[in-house]
Structure 1
Amino acid sequence: MTLSLRQLEAFVAVCDEGSFSKAAQRIHISQSGLSILVRELESSLGTRLFDRSTRHVLLTRAGEEFRAPCMRLLADLSRAVGNVKALEARQRGHVVVAAPPLLAARLLVGMAQVFRTEYPDITVGLLDIPAESILQRLQAGTVDIGFGAFASDQPDFAVEPLMRGPLMALLPKTHPLASRRTIPWAQMASAGLVMQAPGNPFRADLDRAFARLGLEPVVNVEVTQLSTVISLVEAGFGAAIMPPYAALLPANRKTVIRPISAPHLPSEIVMVTDALRAPSAASQAFREIAHSVVRKMRKAASDGGRTRRAAAISGDPAD
């Protein structure tokens, strides 16, 4: 017995439409051509599938029995074709991802390395640019995925939580607060801070946090880049408040990292894409790799020695 895909499509179309003429229009064939397909199918099965009259087309008992498995077969085949096409689409392409310089160096490079191993024929463009430029480039279409500490209320962007953890204090080892295990916000406010300049998204978040707590921070120095903030802390110019990926900083004999507590104000690192543009197959693949890398980081943190540095990224998954 030989059944063709076209015969099965014709049968399901008649079942759905209840009419040979409408079914023929649906699958773009003449009515006589559709009738031939149905007769050939019935001949192969050795039974009638429809009772036909001038006004009605009704399924026979055999037709009722055949309908459900036939529809499942076509649905499974459609999914299989879609999966193969998606897989083929991921064999080539280009994706551009962007993050602030420190996050790009400490997290994005590792993601890109895994991605290159999984998808060697998809090229990756990495941009280490200021956070305030990332959203502009997403809207312009020159960046596919942005990473950073962006607020979730971005109407023009799709925001996916990636990493959640406490804000961290970066302190010179000689700082009076360096001996504490955790540092309250009130003490951070008076610690003498090195901060990014106003206009930076992370700085805006910190300003809102201090305002909610009724605190006025003492700011020693303001600079543009987070990497410069770190260098100034290492040089003893003051303390700094860092996003959760500060836990990824390499050990430094001049500084210590401590969680900020009382109250606990978690911060999120997110992936951002343009909500108005459908992601390419390459872009979707990179997003999946990003989530996979962070999951492995959390698992390594929980399976390992659970140092304070790892604990900052081993908190609740940002689902």
Structure 2
Amino acid sequence: MNITLKQLRAFCDVAQTSSFTLAGRRMNLTQSAVSMLVRQLEDDIGLALFDRVKRKVQLTETGRQLLPIAERILGDLREVIDGAADLRALRRGILRLAVPQMLACSWLPPVLARYRVLYPDVALKMIDTTADRVIETVRQGEAEIGIGPERPTPEDVQADLLWQEKMQCACAAGSLLAQRGRIDWADVADAEWILYSDAFSGHLERTVWSGLSVQLRRTTQVRYLPTALALVGQGMGVTAAPAYAEPFGRLFGAVFIDIANPVVERRFLFYTKKGYELSPAAQAFRLLAGQKNP
């Protein structure tokens, strides 16, 4: 049995118009073509659907029982087609993001506000997490896309550069360091450090501390950057943070100052599952995000 949607439509149109000719006009087919489609359907199911008596077309008892089923099938198909059209036009859909907590409350809100203006009918599910969890959240399918600092990327994840962000030193507003407009890494080699990411700490050790031949003092370890900044503001140590976090540092009494020799930049990337087609909602967000750098 190989019933086609075209056969079902011919059956429904003939039943609704009681005419092969009128059904043909609806379908832009000849009367004979419609008749052939109905005959094929009858052959496929092994039952007559219409009585053809003196040029009159009437449903058989079988046809009357099958008509609501066929109409429901065609109606469901129209809903599928309309739904796909709505998804393509972003009149529906869901945007699922995984973003580090600090990005989620600094860089991201203006991007989402612009996205909402453009696509008001797309729902949002945002997972604000740690930078170290962004990739795994994408891998597990909890988020379709992730945005965060560069991390070791597994083979099944695609990573594309969005922007690079200069790292600065955060210190307490009342400290001696805060009086200086610029420092070198060597100036804070012996400082007490507040760390909020093992991956980033490892990056500092590879790119900074190993070159200075010093051992980083790990005095305090937290999970989130806002927590680290709050402790910095209390004079408990210093930390390194991306420049976009500076407004939040002020809230906690922390000051951001330039740090060089070497200048350290962090790459922020767009993470997706490799080999998976992005939804229209995610594609639109990716395009918009690429235009909105800190």
Shorter chain as denominator, the TM-score bin is 0.5 to 0.7
Could you tell me which amino acid in structure 2 is paired with residue 239 of structure 1? V
2:160–2:269 Cα contact (<8 Å) kept: yes
* Structure 1: 4+ residue segments shifted above 6 A: 84-87
Displacement of 1:249 in angstroms is 3.1
What percentage of residue pairs aligned between the two structures are identical?
Answer: 25
In the other structure, the counterpart of 1:292 is 291
Could you tell me which amino acid in structure 2 is paired with residue 103 of structure 1? L
| Partner-residue secondary structure (3-state), 1:208 | helix
Displacement of 1:133 in angstroms is 2.1
In the other structure, the counterpart of 2:149 is 149
Could you tell me which amino acid in structure 2 is paired with residue 136 of structure 1? E
Q: Following the alignment from structure 1 to structure 2, what is the Cα–Cα distance between the partners of residues 284 and 93?
A: 12
| Partner-residue secondary structure (3-state), 1:249 | helix
Q: Following the alignment from structure 2 to structure 1, what is the Cα–Cα distance between the partners of residues 249 and 203?
A: 25
Could you tell me which amino acid in structure 1 is paired with residue 275 of structure 2? L
In the other structure, the counterpart of 2:53 is none
In the other structure, the counterpart of 1:209 is 207
User: Aligned pairs, how many?
Assistant: 210
In the other structure, the counterpart of 1:6 is none
Correspondences of 1:67-86 after superposition (within 5 Å): none
In the other structure, the counterpart of 2:196 is 196
Q: Following the alignment from structure 1 to structure 2, what is the Cα–Cα distance between the partners of residues 197 and 161?
A: 20
Could you tell me which amino acid in structure 2 is paired with residue 228 of structure 1? T
In the other structure, the counterpart of 1:126 is 126
Residues 16-37 of structure 1, C-alpha deviations (whole Å, 9 max, x = no match): xxxxxxxxxxxxxxxxxxxxxx
In the other structure, the counterpart of 2:240 is 241
Task: Rate the CA distance shift 1:115–1:173 in 2: closer, same or farther, 3 A.
Answer: same
| Partner-residue secondary structure (3-state), 1:106 | coil
Correspondences of 1:261-276 after superposition (within 5 Å): 261-276=260-275
Question: 1:106 and 2:121 equivalent?
Answer: no
Task: Rate the CA distance shift 1:271–1:244 in 2: closer, same or farther, 3 A.
Answer: farther
In the other structure, the counterpart of 1:3 is none
Displacement of 1:87 in angstroms is 8.2
Displacement of 1:288 in angstroms is 1.2
In the other structure, the counterpart of 1:303 is none
In the other structure, the counterpart of 1:230 is 229
Correspondences of 1:8-157 after superposition (within 5 Å): 88-151=88-151, 154-157=154-157
Could you tell me which amino acid in structure 2 is paired with residue 204 of structure 1? G
Task: Rate the CA distance shift 1:219–1:184 in 2: closer, same or farther, 3 A.
Answer: same
2:231–2:237 Cα contact (<8 Å) kept: yes
Larger radius of gyration: 2
| Partner-residue secondary structure (3-state), 2:114 | helix
| Partner-residue secondary structure (3-state), 2:228 | helix
Task: Rate the CA distance shift 1:132–1:275 in 2: closer, same or farther, 3 A.
Answer: same
Task: Rate the CA distance shift 1:152–1:182 in 2: closer, same or farther, 3 A.
Answer: farther
Displacement of 1:184 in angstroms is 0.8
Displacement of 1:247 in angstroms is 3.9
1:244–1:269 Cα contact (<8 Å) kept: no
1:210–1:217 Cα contact (<8 Å) kept: no
| Worse overlay, 107-116 or 96-105 | 107-116
Could you tell me which amino acid in structure 2 is paired with residue 203 of structure 1? S
Task: Rate the CA distance shift 1:161–1:245 in 2: closer, same or farther, 3 A.
Answer: farther
| Partner-residue secondary structure (3-state), 2:181 | coil
| Partner-residue secondary structure (3-state), 1:238 | coil
In the other structure, the counterpart of 2:17 is none
1:104–1:128 Cα contact (<8 Å) kept: yes
In the other structure, the counterpart of 2:178 is 178
Q: Following the alignment from structure 1 to structure 2, what is the Cα–Cα distance between the partners of residues 291 and 240?
A: 28
Could you tell me which amino acid in structure 1 is paired with residue 238 of structure 2? A
Q: Following the alignment from structure 1 to structure 2, what is the Cα–Cα distance between the partners of residues 87 and 123?
A: 12
Residues 103-157 of structure 1, C-alpha deviations (whole Å, 9 max, x = no match): 1111222222111111011111111112222211211111011111123755332
Q: Following the alignment from structure 1 to structure 2, what is the Cα–Cα distance between the partners of residues 291 and 118?
A: 16
1:165–1:268 Cα contact (<8 Å) kept: yes
Report the RMSD for the aligned CA atoms in angstroms.
Answer: 2.4
Q: Following the alignment from structure 1 to structure 2, what is the Cα–Cα distance between the partners of residues 188 and 218?
A: 10
TM-score (normalizing by structure 2): 0.65
Q: Following the alignment from structure 2 to structure 1, what is the Cα–Cα distance between the partners of residues 86 and 181?
A: 49
Correspondences of 1:155-170 after superposition (within 5 Å): 155-170=155-170
